[in-house]
Amino acid sequence: MADDVKKMKPIWFFVGLVLTFMGGVILISGIYDLLARVEYKTVLARLHPAIWWGGLMVAAGLIFVLANRNATVD
């Protein structure tokens, strides 16, 4: 039981996983829409928010994952 407790990953690692995955899906969706010239009816669509916001999420997520990849909680 003591070994199990030491091996628990910190919450920040899982935060990183969620941000990386969701950000990646949004980023890929945004790039696809740009290349396929999908027309959006949303305001400010020309700024392609899915690309830069998805990219920001992936970057933040990777920071959390990499910073905690070897971390465990006692």
Partner 1 sequence: MQAIGLHFVDWFIILFYFAFILGMGFYLKRYTKNEEDFFLAGRRNSAWVAGIAFLSANLGALELLGMTGNTYKYGMYVAHFYWIGAIPAMLFLGIFMMPFYYSSRIKSVPGYLKLRFDEKTRVLNGISFAVMTLLVSGINLYAMALVLHTFVGWNWDISIWASAITVAAYVTLSGLMSAIFTEIIQFFLIWFGLFLVSVLGIVEIGSVGEIMRRVPEAFSKLWSTSADPTANGMMITWGGIVLGLGFVLSFGYWTTDFLVVQRAFSAKNLRSARMTPIIASFFKMAVPFIVIIAGLIALVLAKDSNSGFALMSDGGKLNYDSALPMLIARYFPRGLVGLGITALLAGFMAGQAGNISAFNTVWTYDIYQSVINKKASPKHLLRMGRAATIVGIVLSVATAYWAKSMPTIMDYMQAIFSWVNAPLFATMLLGMFVKWITPNGAFWGLIAGMGSSFTMYLAVKFEWIQAGILTLSGKMGASDMAANFWRAWWAWLICFGVTVAVSLFTKKKPEAELVGLVKGLTPETVGAHVPWFKQPAFVAALALIVLVLLNVYFW
Single out the residue of 20, 54, 65, 68 in contact with partner 1 (rule: CB under 8 A): 54
Nearer to partner 1, 32 or 70 (CB): 32
Whether the Cβ atoms of residue 19 and residue 58 lie closer than 8 Å to each other: yes
Query: For the window 2-31, what string marks contact with partner 1 as x by the rule CB under 8 A?
Result: --xx--x--x--xx-xxx-xxx-xx--xx-
As to burial, measured by CB atoms within 10 angstroms (0-12 exposed, 13-18 middle, 19+ buried), residue 74 is exposed
Give min distance, CB of 2 to partner 1, in A.
11
- Residue 62 in the binding site for partner 1 (CB under 8 A): no
CA distance 20 to 26: 10
What's the length of the chain?
74
- Residue 65 in the binding site for partner 1 (CB under 8 A): no
